[in-house]
């Protein structure tokens, strides 16, 4: 490659796009030292060229016509930071057809259409990097592809959504209700006006699909992820967890056993206070990775924000420019090559926390214990206390490690038990290191 500069087309000038322009503009000397080439933002797609922005951008760089980027032969790399599926997918595929390399922060796009995009990139000998799509400024994807390339990853577990982690942290620290903290998160800009994607676990599920695909080399789709959100979590659940030595976190979990069967989930989990993830609070993210050779590692940092996310995008930009310079583009594309084999529920094992309201009379616990035995469930702990001013009692059960299918069978059978007023909560338990 003999050119002295690389020209970049930027699709989107929102929070992340603005951060990319700032970093590229302010770090020209460093970028040249790292790549040996000048990196130039050549054209930026915006909806409104006249809009006032926090960053002054020369007017000649702005365009409202995406074709000025997609079909400009001078542009080598396209950075997509508009988010969503449409029209981002069309833009990315069109750019690849023109032989342009792609950098994106779009988790929705890569989780749902990553295979199609990567296959086309491989066909066109183009790079597609998407570090910023999972954990903002945390370099987890490059670590999975490069640093763990000689190891076999068996487990990935993490806090990959800052909004839910902020909400649960505040509930834990202040004993506040979910609805109250959600309103505060929305006022601070941590949660959207419609928080469904975050609080119902969908955002985290998309990220776990991406992590699982890269970590296990299997095409994991969003439909393969078992998802439960946090909207039902009460301050009473959190208080019980603290008494028992647990913190409640929305955890993404991906595991692959020796037979190459995998399970991927996102669910509120009681994690022992001794585990490093239990100490991750606020809007921060963390991903815990276990490799057969390296053992346990953890990646921690800001999961969102203008400059943390933009830093990951520019890191990808540097990687693409280096690949262009040495003529090795397209070689880092990770196309899943292993057969997908999902674990059945009778092979998914964990301890569980259950809290229920029952009629406060003799023989109730014996009836529940019999149903537990009928479903192959053994108990580690039982806590029972009366509900104040009512004829009901509250029972908390901590099981030993059981199959998810047995848990589901027990919960189903409890629907027909007249002495059980309500099953208030059921959470998976992640053990601490010493347990």
* Cα 337-341-344 angle, rounded to 5 deg: 165
Instruction: Say which DSSP state 146 is in.
Output: I
The catalytic position among 100, 124, 207, 348 is 207
Query: 230-249 as b/e, with b when 16 or more CB fall inside 10 Å?
Result: bbebebebbebbeebebbbb
Nearest to 342 by CA among 251, 227, 223: 223
Instruction: Give backbone dihedrals phi and psi of 68, rounded to 5 degrees, phi first.
Output: -65, -15
* Catalytic-residue membership of 207: yes
Strand 246-256 to 153-159 pairing = antiparallel
Considering only CA atoms, which of 85, 105, 88 is closest in space to residue 309? 105
**Long-range Cβ contact pairs of 212-215 (< 8 A, separation 24 or more):** 212/156, 212/254, 212/262, 212/264, 213/114, 213/334, 213/336, 214/141, 214/144, 214/145, 214/334, 215/144, 215/148, 215/153, 215/156, 215/254, 215/256, 215/289
3-state secondary structure of 257: coil
Question: Rounded to whole angstroms, how far apart are CA atoms 317 and 360?
Answer: 64
CA angle 253-255-258, nearest 5°? 170
Query: What phi-psi label fits residue 48: left (phi over 0), alpha (psi between -120 and 50 degrees) or beta?
Result: beta
Q: Which helix (H) or strand (E) holds 43?
A: strand 38-45
Could you give the C-alpha distances from 89 to 108, 164, 395, in angstroms and in order?
10, 27, 50
Helix%, strand%, coil% for the chain, nearest 5: 40, 25, 35
Beta-bridge partners for 132: none
Question: Which residues participate in catalysis according to the annotation?
Answer: 207
């Amino acid at each position: 490659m003999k050119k002295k500069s690389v020209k970049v087309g930027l699709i989107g000038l929102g929070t992340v796009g603005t951060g990319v322009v700032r970093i590229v503009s302010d770090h020209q000397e460093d970028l040249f030292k790292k790549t040996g080439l000048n990196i130039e933002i050549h054209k930026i797609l915006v909806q409104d060229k006249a809009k006032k922005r926090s960053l002054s951008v020369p007017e000649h760089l702005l365009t409202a016509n995406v074709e000025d980027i997609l079909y400009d032969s001078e542009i080598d790399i396209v950075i997509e930071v508009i988010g969503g599926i449409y029209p981002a997918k069309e833009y990315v595929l069109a750019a690849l057809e023109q032989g342009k390399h792609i950098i994106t922060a779009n988790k929705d796009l890569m989780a749902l259409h990553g295979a199609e995009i990567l296959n086309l990139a491989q066909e066109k000998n183009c790079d597609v990097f998407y570090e910023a799509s999972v954990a903002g400024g945390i370099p987890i994807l490059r670590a999975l592809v490069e640093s763990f390339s000689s190891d076999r990853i068996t487990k990935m577990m993490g806090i990959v959504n800052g909004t839910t982690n902020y909400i649960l942290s505040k509930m834990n620290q202040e004993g506040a209700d979910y609805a109250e903290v959600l309103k505060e998160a929305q006022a601070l800009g941590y949660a959207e006006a419609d928080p469904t994607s975050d609080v119902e676990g969908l955002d985290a599920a998309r990220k776990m699909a991406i992590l699982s695909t890269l970590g296990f080399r299997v095409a994991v789709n969003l439909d393969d992820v078992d998802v439960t959100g946090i909207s039902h979590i009460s301050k009473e659940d959190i208080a019980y967890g603290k008494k028992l030595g647990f913190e409640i976190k929305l955890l993404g979990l991906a595991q692959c056993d020796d037979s190459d069967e995998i399970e991927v989930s996102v669910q509120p989990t009681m994690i022992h206070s001794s585990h490093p993830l239990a100490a991750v609070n606020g809007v921060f993210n963390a991903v815990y990775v276990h490799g057969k050779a390296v053992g346990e590692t953890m990646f921690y940092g800001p999961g969102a924000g203008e400059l943390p996310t933009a830093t990951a995008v520019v890191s990808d930009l540097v990687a693409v420019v280096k690949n262009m310079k040495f003529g090795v583009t397209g070689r880092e594309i990770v196309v899943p090559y292993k057969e997908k084999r999902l674990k059945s529920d009778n092979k998914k094992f964990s301890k569980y926390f259950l809290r229920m309201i029952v009629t406060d009379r003799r023989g109730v616990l014996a009836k529940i214990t019999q149903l537990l035995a009928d479903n192959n469930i053994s108990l580690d702990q039982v806590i029972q206390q009366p509900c104040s001013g009512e004829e009901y009692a509250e029972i908390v059960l901590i099981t030993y490690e059981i199959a998810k299918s047995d848990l589901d069978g027990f919960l189903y059978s409890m629907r027909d038990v007249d002495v059980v007023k309500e099953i208030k909560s059921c959470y998976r338990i992640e053990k601490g290191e010493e347990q």
